[in-house]
Amino acid sequence: MSHNPMVPLNLWESILDQLEQEVSEKDRHAWLRTLSADSENGVLVLRAPNAYVKSGVESKWLGRITELACAYQGDRVAVKIELESGNGSSHRNRSRPSNTTNKSKGPKKLPYGFSQLNPDFTFEQHIVGESNQLARSAAEAASRDPGQREYNPLFIYGTVGIGKTHLMQATGHALGSNFPNAKVGYVNAQNFVQHTIQAIMQRNNNAAERMKAAYRELDALLIDDIHLFSGGESSQSEFLQTFNLLLEGGKQVILTSDKFARELVHVEERITSRLSQGLTARIRQPELETRIAILETKARLRSITLAPEVLRYLADNITASVRELEGALNKLAATHRLTGKDITIGFVREQLADFLEYDARPITVEFIQQTVSHFYGIRHSDMLSKNRRGDLVSARHVAMSLAREFTSNSLPEIGKVFGGRHHGTIIHAQKKVEARMKKDRRFREEYENLQDQFRR
């Protein structure tokens, strides 16, 4: 076959239609839908938003994409994957909000108490790894083509200190750069409640109407820490009305939470069900390679150099969260500048004794019982009782399974801490958990959330 010098621009859409029948919904959003297509000298060029996506698509799907391209063209077609140029801008057409020649960086300043975005929380300073790939890809997609049903609303959740706020604010910055006239409002959930209450109390000066207009005229609403949303019926009704109006108007809504949507006990079910209708993206605790990359980036921003063995030591020993990694690095940088001492492993051990001792705390069966009891809203004594109520049995099974996974205790030792139960009961509990995780997505999410709290 001869090489085809002309590649129609709709070829990628045809390929994508076929691929979407072959891959999971997660892969569609995390990988394939993040690509934009172009034709250069007879080559189908697919542009990826970052190096992680580029590498993943090349290793997983480049062969299949090339096969489909040749089949649809009836001729040989070369396909290559490139990184997008510039600040992650897309080659797709943008329709919402308006894009003008205004060159200002980031979203324009808004009235009504919306918080300013942290200038350091950008995509350029956000490290991508397996732990956050889906959330990052969805955030980039929302910043390029906001309001699309596939990721609107975008609900990002995960444990404390793993970069949810950074990713949300990076999306806000990118929206402001891609669409300079966009009205992007960033607010903490507690502040939203305060705005609502204050507006209701000041009816004489039409404060309530001004508050509604401020929120409902946004092109993108970013609400942080929705798990802290504890407003009464009026606040939740106002939130739901605003939420629905923005979604119906094709405006982008992004929310972060420490908990999965269905676990938000202070939020009405009519709201949590709506939060689950878009894309839910979980961020896990970063794996070793990502922790090292985060440390390298943060150290470079602070103009300090860390030897490879120091980076590895820090990444191996501080695993709880990105926030703790950054706190440790801040202390090292400050002490280094004040004392002039080199940052060696010995220096790290001396300066970060508190960090390292805290992270090295042993995980006990009792600690797991207390954590699981708090998570499910039951008493610790219920964990040890003989009560066979369904929710208590389920929580007990979860705690037993986690105790096997995260402690070095023997089966009889674990059984003893669970009120003197037989070791066969512990094995049965673990099998029940494993079986339920395969068929119950919500339960699997809950269990994985708990696992994240014990990983070191």
Q: Give 308's DSSP letter.
A: H
Confidence band for 87, pLDDT divided at 50, 70 and 90:
very low
- Strand 43-48 with 36-40, pairing: antiparallel
C-alpha torsion sign, points 78, 81, 83, 84: positive
Q: Which amino acid is at 446?
A: E
Can you tell me the distance from the alpha carbon of 112 to that of 196, in angstroms, rounded to the nearest whole number? Answer: 11
Q: Are 84 and 47 in contact (CB under 8 A)?
A: yes
The b/e string for 185-219 (b: 16+ C-beta within 10 A; e otherwise) is bbbbbebbbebbeebeeeeeeebbeebbebbeebb
Question: Looking at residue 43, what is its pLDDT?
Answer: 87
Full strand arrangement of the beta sheet holding 78-83: 36-40, 43-48, 78-83
Residue type, 32: L
pLDDT of residue 426: 92
**Phi and psi, residue 101, nearest 5°:** -85, 5
**pLDDT digits 0-9 by tens, 365-422:** 998 998 888 888 888 888 888 888 988 999 999 999 999 988 888 999 999 999 899 9
> In the predicted model, is pLDDT for residue 96 greater than 60?
no
The conformation of residue 205, written as its DSSP 8-state character, comes to G
Return the CATH class of domain 133-282. Answer: alpha beta
Instruction: Report the CATH fold assignment for 11-83.
Output: GMP Synthetase; Chain A, domain 3 (3.30.300)
Rounded to whole angstroms, the Cα distance separating 98 from 331 reads 44
The answer regarding whether domain 288-359 maps to CATH 1.10.8.60 reads yes
| Structural tokens at position 220 | 């993108």
Which contiguous run of DSSP H or E holds residue 428?
helix 423-439
Token reading at 341 = 């001492």
Pick from 329, 280, 279: nearest CA to 305: 329
**Sign of torsion over alpha carbons 246, 250, 256, 259:** positive
Nearest 5°: the CA angle 102, 104, 107 is 105
Reading the block at residue 138, the tokens are: 């969805």
How much is the pLDDT for 2? 42
Show the 3-state SS of 72-105: HHCCECEEEEEECCCCCCCCCCCCCCCCCCCCCC
Q: What are the tokens at 202?
A: 């000041």
pLDDT at 398: 94
Task: Read off the DSSP letter of residue 278.
Answer: S
Predicted local distance difference test score (pLDDT) of residue 90: 36
Tell which residue, 53, 82, 91, has the closest CA to residue 178. 91
Tell me the pLDDT tens digit for each residue of 23-73: 876 677 667 877 888 888 778 888 887 776 787 788 888 988 988 888 877
Q: Distance between CA 399 and CA 403 in Å, rounded?
A: 6
* Residue 13 to residue 46: CA distance in whole angstroms: 11
What pLDDT score does 106 carry? 54
What is the pLDDT at residue 403? 92
What average pLDDT does the chain have?
81
Q: Is residue 254 predicted with pLDDT exceeding 70?
A: yes
- Per-residue model confidence as pLDDT tens digits over 121-168: 999 889 888 889 889 999 999 999 898 888 889 999 988 888 899 999
Specify the CATH number for 365-454; select among 1.10.1040.10, 3.20.20.70, 3.20.20.370, 1.10.1750.10: 1.10.1750.10
CA gap 385, 383 in Å, rounded: 6
Separation CA 413–CA 161 (nearest Å): 33
DSSP H or E segment with residue 256: strand 252-257
**Nearest-5° Cα angle at 449, 446 to 451:** 110
Structure tokens at 118: 């942290």
Is the predicted pLDDT of residue 3 greater than 50, yes or no?
no
| DSSP letter (8 states) at residue 150 | G
Arithmetic mean of pLDDT, 255-270: 81
For the chain, domain boundaries? 11-83, 133-282, 288-359, 365-454
